[in-house]
Chain A
C-alpha cells in the first residue's frame, strides 16, 4: 500500500449504530487530519493530530471521537449520528503540522446515516 488509505470506502449506518473509520498513511508523516466534505460546502477540518497529540478540534460534536494510536494510524469513532452527518470523510497526512504542511489525502469514506 502506498499513500493514504481509508477503510471502509462506503458505510451505511443507523442513528443508533456505532462504527469506526480507519485511516493509515504510508508516507512517514507525523501529522494526520480528519475532514468532512458535504455537498456544496467547503471542506471542514474536524481534527488534527501531530506526533499523536491532538492539536485541533474544530468544535466537532462529541458523537465523533478521534483516536490516534501512532503516527501512521488514525481512527474516527462514530456513535448516535444524525442524518446531517452523511458526507464524505477524508483523511489526510502531512510531514508535520508546523513545517511540512502540504497535505496528502486518502480516498475517503462515503458515510450515509439513515
Chain B
C-alpha cells in the first residue's frame, strides 16, 4: 500500500512569512493533487501535478512535484489569514488516491 506523509502536521505562522509544506510518498507515482479544506467544509482542489518537475502557482501558493524524490512541496509566500485551513496532498496510486493526514495551517495576524 502506498504511504503518504505530510509534514508538518500543524503549522502556526505569522502573516507575511513564508513556509513550505512537504508531502512524501512511498512508491512511484507521477500524479499528485493538493486540496484545501476549511473547517466544516469539503475539500477544494488547488493543484493538479501530472509530471516530474511540474510547478503550478496560484496567488500565494506554489506547488511542485519531484517524482524521482517522491516529494511534493506546497510553498506559501507572504501568508495571509485567509490561507488558514487544512491542506492535503493526494497521490494517485493507480487504483485509488492515497491521502496524507493533512497539514493544519493557522496564520496569525
User: Are these two chains actual partners, yes or no?
Assistant: yes
* A contact set with B: CB distance below 8 Å: 4, 40-43, 45, 48, 56, 58, 90, 92, 101-108
What are some 14 contacts across the A-B interface (CB < 8 A)? Answer: A42-B4, A42-B99, A42-B100, A42-B102, A43-B97, A45-B96, A56-B96, A90-B42, A101-B92, A103-B33, A103-B45, A104-B45, A107-B42, A108-B42
Q: How far is the CA of A71 from the CA of B41 in the complex (A)?
A: 24
Give the dominant DSSP class at B's interface. Answer: strand
* B contact set with A: CB distance below 8 Å: 4, 31, 33, 35, 41-45, 48, 88, 90, 92, 95-102
Q: How far is the CA of A106 from the CA of B100 in the complex (A)?
A: 19
Known: A40-B101, A42-B4. A102 touches B48 (CB 8 A): yes
Q: How far is the CA of A92 from the CA of B95 in the complex (A)?
A: 15
- Minimal beta-carbon separation of B41 from chain A (angstroms): 7
Q: How far is the CA of A60 from the CA of B100 in the complex (A)?
A: 20
Q: A42-B98, A58-B96 are in contact. List 20 more A-B contacts (CB 8 A).
A: A4-B42, A42-B99, A42-B102, A43-B88, A43-B90, A48-B96, A56-B95, A56-B96, A90-B42, A90-B43, A92-B43, A101-B92, A101-B97, A102-B33, A102-B45, A103-B90, A105-B42, A106-B42, A107-B41, A107-B42
